[in-house]
Structure 1
Amino acid sequence: MTPKLILIEGLPGSGKTTTAALVQELLKEKNISARLFLEGNLDHPADYDGVSCFEEHEFAELQSCFYKYKDFLNDHIIRQDGRCFLEYRKLQQKAGTEFPDELLKAIVQKDIYEIPLDDNRKLITEKWRKFAAEAADGQDTYIFDCCFIQNPVTAGMIKYGADRETVTSYVTELAAIIEPLQPLLIYVTQNDIDRSFKKAVRERPIEWSQGFFEYYTNQGYGARHQYSGIEGTLQVLKARQQLEAEIYSSLTIAKHKADNSAFDNEGYRQRVSEILNVFFNTAHQPD
């Protein structure tokens, strides 16, 4: 059995990106060509990154406010399903320093991960449906890094402080959409969140950690509990871990946990290889 979608999930610092790349490598050894999409990919087939969505009247208002850039905006708008999509991260790369900060600020306010949760969920599920339909007719196997559970939990719990039922139903809806693709979920675990997250903080740029702390403590769940700094962020991550464990248990798609607590490359490679072998060589059953 060859799944058309392999999903890699886990908390920040757990080793998701490493796992996703490892899965692609192991599939290559099985002579299976797989397309890997990491977090932040601007061409993601099922998710949005650096994309804003406007109603027609909202886009007209944006053009009116920034009349000098009216033609530029109109040349790059993507009209689809009665909405206007603007891939502003791609435009930034194209325009460079000529892309004004005030225009970017106005566009980012309508980023698909900044709009209300119900609107976000509608747009995201629509894109997943289109992806699932196209992938079902194709031959490619896709590997997605952290957009299946992480994004609904981040948008729902972290940003908006949504309740467990709302966030869980969001992920459950995505799971139903991709079921025809015979997906496999690999959830990367760590037995010590403090250690793994602080390791990530040490190894990544300070801009990443500062932005992460602010995002996790200045809104939604973190703000409601008045958390701050790295210790407050860890409290939010522990709450997120609990919610994701509940979501994982509720899912009926094929799933396996991969313990990466030791950060032992060879041992971890063997574990991931075993997961893939079990799934490819037997009828898959949720663990």
Structure 2
Amino acid sequence: MRLVLIEGLPGTGKTTLAERLCALALQEGCASRWYLEEAADHPVHPHSLNAARLEADYPSRCLQGWRRFADEVRSDSTLNILEGSAFQSTVRFMMEQNRTDIDDYFGRFEGILSPLRPVFIYLRPEDAERHSRATAAHRGSDWTRKVAAYLEQTPYAHRHGLRGESGMHRFWANYAHLCDELMHGLTMRVTRITVEPGHDDWVLAEAVDAIQSEPYATCERNRE
């Protein structure tokens, strides 16, 4: 197994799950590493790409990053765990584009990654807008104001009249709906896990089962 992709709304536990999966793999003697969505050394979306997020060629530059990454790990036995990298780093910056362009991007994305047989784990709350409100309450007013102000300036928010905290919650609900539709269109295997507060251990167990049930899910054990 070379690649695990973890997606979900902010606050669904993507980072926690990535950390715990990596730790479990290392405990088993398997070479493993995980990447935070906004890590400076991210293998697909490094900080140098951030400035281009609203540029027309941003999707094509992301695909170039995925091609480089796929070429690098194709012969690497290390388990790579990427959180928020497939959707959150791209879809939310493409929401103002037409659906045909988004579908085209993900068709190309899947074509690049399918030879790696990735395990795609999708963390989904039952009610996206309610989850967004709970996340805002948990992370506090500073985080909420910062994210709401940022999203309010996006072309998508301008076009749909999304303003302030309520606009932020609506944005994430719309984003989740789009992700749901994209997930249904993928041909690669997707494991959807319904997330609820306090169920981190259950989510971890479901994710481990998804990885272990993949016939390709093998890793190179570290040698002393």
Shorter-normalised TM range: 0.7 to 0.9
Q: Deviations over 1:93-147 (max 9, x none)?
A: xxxxxxxxxxxxxxx8xx1224x23x11222211211111111122212100111
Q: TM-score, normalised by structure 1?
A: 0.69
Distance in 1, matches of 2:39 and 2:72, equals 19
Q: 2:151 maps to what in 1?
A: 216
Where does 1:167-206 land on structure 2 (aligned, <5 Å)?
Answer: 167-204=102-139, 206=141
Deviation at 1:4, TM superposition (A): 1.0
Letter in 2 for 1:169: D
- Give the whole-Å Cα distance in 1 for the aligned partners of 2:143 and 2:215: 37
- The code of the aligned residue for 1:264 comes to H
Match of 1:140 in 2: 78
1:270 paired with 2:205, answer yes
Instruction: Write out per-residue CA displacement over residues 59-107 of structure 1, whole angstroms, 9 at most, x where no aligned residue.
Output: xxxxxxxxxxxxxxxxxxxxxxxxxxxxxxxxxxxxxxxxxxxxxxxxx
Q: Please name the residue that 2:221 is paired with.
A: none
Letter in 1 for 2:191: H
Deviates more, 1:138-147 or 1:29-38: 29-38
- Do the aligned partners of 1:7 and 1:145 also contact (CA within 8 Å) in 2? yes
1:256 to partner: Cα distance: 0.4
**Which consecutive unaligned segments of at least 5 residues does structure 2 have?**
218-224
Amino acid corresponding to residue 16 of structure 2 in structure 1: T
Equivalent residue for 2:2?
4
- The alignment covers a number of residue pairs equal to 217
Deviations 1:247-277 (A, max 9, x none): 1011111210111124323322322222222
Aligned to 2:195: 260
Q: How far off its partner does 1:202 sit?
A: 2.5
SS of equivalent residue, structure 1 residue 195:
helix
Task: Indicate the percent of aligned positions where both proteins have the same amino acid.
Answer: 24
1:227-249 deviation digits (Å, cap 9, x = unpaired): 11121111121111111111101
Find the aligned partners of 2:83 and 2:204 in 1 and give their Cα distance: 17
- 2:52 — aligned with what? 112
Q: Note if contact 2:70-2:116 (Cα within 8 Å) is conserved in structure 1.
A: yes
> Greater relative contact order: 1 or 2 (C-alpha under 8 angstroms, separation 6 or more)?
2
What is the one-letter code of the residue matched to 1:188?
L
Q: Tell me by how many angstroms 1:16 deviates.
A: 1.2
In 2, Cα distance between equivalents of 1:211 and 1:219: 13
Contact kept, 8 Å, 1:14 with 1:197, in 2: the verdict is no
Q: What CA distance in whole angstroms lies between the structure 2 residues aligned with 1:232 and 1:25? A: 37
Which amino acid in 1 is paired with 2:15?
Answer: T
1:87 aligned residue: none
| Structure 2 match to 1:155 | 93
Structure with the higher fraction of residues in helix conformation: 1
Equivalent residue number for residue 222 of structure 2: none
